[in-house]
Amino acid sequence: MAVDLESSLYSVKGIAILDQDGNRVLAKYYDDTFATVKEQRAFEKSLFSKTSKANGEIILLDGLICVYRSNVDLYFYVMGSSQENELILVNVLNGLYEAISTILRKNVEKKALLDNMDAAMLALDEICDDGVVLETDAASVVSRCLLRPDDLAFGDQSISQVGMSLLGSAKEQLKWSLLK
C-alpha cells in the first residue's frame, strides 16, 4: 500500500519578502508552479498589487493561498496550495517574521535585512526545506542561525572554519598594529 507523503506533510509553495515597491528582497520557491524567474516576478508583482493596500492577512491568488504581513518597508508572504491548511501557513509566516525580527534586533527594515541577508537565508532554510515545514518556533530557528564559528568548540569546527577564524584574527591583529 503506497502512502502519499506529499499530501501528508505540511508544505509551502514559496516564501517571499518584498520591499515597499513590490521588488523582491528574498524569495524561495519550492516547486515548479512558477518555473522561471520571470513568472515568479510577475506573480510577486500581482501579489503585491493585491495586498499592499489591503488590510487582510490572507488572499487566494492564481489558485494559491497566500498569507502575508507587512512591517515598515517589507512585506512577508507565505504561499501554499489551495488545499493547504491556512493556520499552518500563518504559523510559518509568524515564525519567519519573528525569527527575522529577532535576527535584526527588532529593526525589521529593508536595509537591516540586506545587511543580515546571510542569517535571513539560513532562517528561511531552517523553517522550510524543499517545501516541507520543519520548524516554526522562532527561538529555535534563531538559535540555529546565529551560531558563529567562534561559538563552536575547536573540535567541532571544520578545517575551513578554523582557517577562516585564524585568517580573521590575523587581519584584525595586522589592522591594529598598523593603526598604532
What grid cell was written down for 149? 564559528
What grid cell was written down for 171? 587581519
Domain identity same for 126 and 154: no
The domain tally of the chain equals 2
- Mean pLDDT, residues 20-25 taken together: 93
Domain identity same for 124 and 156: no
Domain identity same for 117 and 65: yes
Residue bearing cell 506573480: 43
CA distance 137 to 70: 19
Does residue 72 have a pLDDT over 90? no
Question: Is 64 domain-assigned?
Answer: yes
Q: Dihedrals φ, ψ of 81, to 5°?
A: -65, 165
Domain identity same for 27 and 70: yes
Does residue 80 have a pLDDT over 60? yes
What does the pLDDT read at residue 58? 92
In the chain, what percentage of residues exceed pLDDT 90? 44
**Mean confidence (pLDDT) of the chain:** 83
Domain identity same for 49 and 94: yes
- Give tens-digit pLDDT for 112-169: 999 999 999 999 999 998 889 998 888 888 888 875 545 444 454 555 555 566 666 6
Range of the domain at 167: 149-179
Domain identity same for 135 and 153: no
- Give tens-digit pLDDT for 88-115: 999 999 999 999 999 888 888 899 999 9
What does DSSP assign to residue 3? -
HEC profile for 66-117? EEEEEECCEEEEEEEECCCCHHHHHHHHHHHHHHHHHHCCCCCCHHHHHHCH
